[in-house]
A and B are shown apart, each in its own frame.
Chain A
Amino acid sequence: MSIDKDKIKHISKLARISIDSKKSDSLAKDLTSIFKFIEQLNELNTDKVEPLSSILNTPLRSREDQINDGKIRDKILENSPKKNEEFFVVPKVIE
């Protein structure tokens, strides 16, 4: 799989990372070589193999339905780059 600038553009859009067009070329080159490396896996026939879903074979643990968290608004907002007393604040979203 060769990764070109258009693909970089598409995935960087999905990942919400703007990529400098100057850097796009070298990134495409790096990713192409990484994917070439990754594609060694195609040597293996895995048709009959179950994908590994978890390395632990214990069942999922669950907790009781109790309220024991929350009520820490100040703590939650403390580190936010933009906030007021009650809310996180982000640039206006147009739906």
Chain B
Amino acid sequence: MSEIIKKNLSEIIDLIKKKEIKSEELANLYIDKVNKSKKLNSYITTCFEHTIQQSKEFDKKPNLNSLLPGVPLAVKDLFCTNGFKTTAGSKMLENFIPQYESTVTENLWKEGAILLGKLNCDEYAMGSSNETSYFGNVINPIAKDTVPGGSSGGSASALAADLTPATIGTDTGGSIRQPASFTGTVGLKPTYGLCSRWGIVAFASSLDQAGPMTKSVKDCSIMLEAMAGFDNKDSTSIEKKKENYSKNLKTNIKGLKIGIPKEYRVENMPKEIDELWNKGKSILKDLGADIIDISLPHTKYALPTYYIVAPAEASSNLARYDGVKYGYRSSKGNDLIEMYENTRSEGFGDEVKRRILIGTYVLSSGYYDAYYLKAQKVRQLIKKDFDENFGKVDAILTPSTPSSAFKIGEKTNDPISMYLNDIFTVPVNLAGLPAISVPAGLDKKGYPLGLQLIGKTLDEQNILNVAYAFEKNCNFKNELKNWWL
């Protein structure tokens, strides 16, 4: 197996720029490995003919000034790709071929990237282990009985297994950062509104954000730079100039104030995670940062709030899947209503149905105030917690997840314990803030663990810098055994 595809995105870009490898050669290396890695089940769709044809075209007239020159990339199957199946991990969209391209993927192609395929994910991004996908669960390359996390589990697995040099996911409650943590990769959820949501299958509109998943912080800055940007087709897109995250990346974090929220030290958290967190603090301290204890008192209410807001929005967002315009339609039923009921019953999986029902309930007559309105109020409190502390600190350091990758099937019968996986990531979505998960170490089993850096609104550059400095001094090394080949 070629050593080239083990490299980071930035190194691969250098090789292309130095003309040491052609786009087509590179594409073939990935295609070869993807073909040999079916066991991981990280891809739902491949489009290799397209990849080769595009890479040939790139090689004929290479634009080496673009950010991602001739780089083949696979993306989460939640991004609509023009002419290529987009399933959202659901039977409902098993055969859905959009005739439009999401803004974010369009941005990548404009920077020279080439679509390699569509990556598995939890159905409609609802899950934390990639076990709710209609196309089967994804395996974490770390160990064959572990989940890669979710919902961007296919993305994390493919990235860690060198089946794509970088990728993009979406993060509604931790769906980029938790799988990044589980697979020893870097994942960033941008400020809400930094990346356009246009053309991304919606889960919960006020929380969804697309973001990069990469092998290094530098890669992450390149990908973010390529995908982000104002889009007038999305009313929640922030109007601002593009930033050069990769060019401005620096390791000097002297004098930065890093907050440590005491509420993130939760009961029953493995000791290793606490230790890792301490290791993170001391590394940053050694680099000249001030470590400051802070309090985010409403942290514990973030997850219950999330499990009202996200299902409520999802119940409405997923109403369009009714068997009329596109997607699955049940052949059973005598009238329109029965057609709807059977289509949605057969087309959606259990977790999706569960969340639609929760969402329907919390919005229904007589319960709106008690649940949905209450949650929007608590969401205000959670946001205030962050706002107040960001007067005092420049970034916040927490663990990314309360555990390392768990076993396949371990939590599937206990929704609450599954939901608790996102306990550290969810507050950030509720507050609309940027956060990055960086690999920080391995637990006893040798499974990776990540630390999370939370930044102020639109302060992506700052958390990238801190993560970059941390990465340089952490010496994390993922130990993959390529057992699936």
A91 to chain B, nearest CB (A): 5
B371 to chain A, nearest CB (A): 7
**Residues of A with C-beta under 8 A to B338:** 18, 91
Q: Which residue from chain A places its CB closest to the CB of B331 in the assembled complex? A: A81
Verify if B364 is at the interface (C-beta below 8 Å from A). Answer: yes
**A61 x B232 contact (CB < 8 A):** yes
Verify if B305 is at the interface (C-beta below 8 Å from A). Answer: yes
**Residues of A with C-beta under 8 A to B315:** 15
A76 to chain B, nearest CB (A): 8
A44 touches which of B239, B301, B342, B432 (Cβ 8 Å): B301
Please classify how large the interface on chain B is, using the bins under 10, 10 to 19, 20 to 34, 35 or more: 35 or more
**Given A17-B348, A27-B354, A41-B374, A81 and B328 touching (CB < 8 A)?**
yes
Is chain B's binding surface mostly helix, strand, loop or mixed?
Answer: helix
**Residues of A with C-beta under 8 A to B339:** 90-91
- Encoded as 1 (CB less than 8 Å from any A CB) or 0, chain B from 333 to 351 comes to 1111111111011001010
Verify if A54 is at the interface (C-beta below 8 Å from B). Answer: yes
**Residues of B with C-beta under 8 A to A50:** 377, 380
Interface residues of B in 312-364 (CB under 8 A from A): 315, 319, 322-329, 333-342, 344-345, 348, 350, 353-354, 356-358, 360-361, 364
Could you say which of A49, A50, A54, A82 has the most chain B C-beta atoms within 10 Å of its C-beta? A49
Verify if A67 is at the interface (C-beta below 8 Å from B). Answer: no
**Given A60-B235, A61-B232, A17 and B341 touching (CB < 8 A)?**
yes
Could you say which of A16, A53, A75, A90 has the most chain B C-beta atoms within 10 Å of its C-beta? A16
List 14 other contacts, CB 8 Å, given A49-B380, A94-B335. Answer: A8-B357, A14-B364, A16-B319, A16-B341, A17-B341, A31-B358, A34-B358, A34-B416, A38-B304, A49-B381, A54-B236, A79-B97, A81-B324, A92-B335
List A residues at the B interface (Cβ < 8 Å): 3, 7-8, 11-12, 14-20, 23, 27, 30-31, 33-35, 37-42, 44, 46, 49-56, 58, 60-61, 63, 75-76, 78-82, 88, 90-94
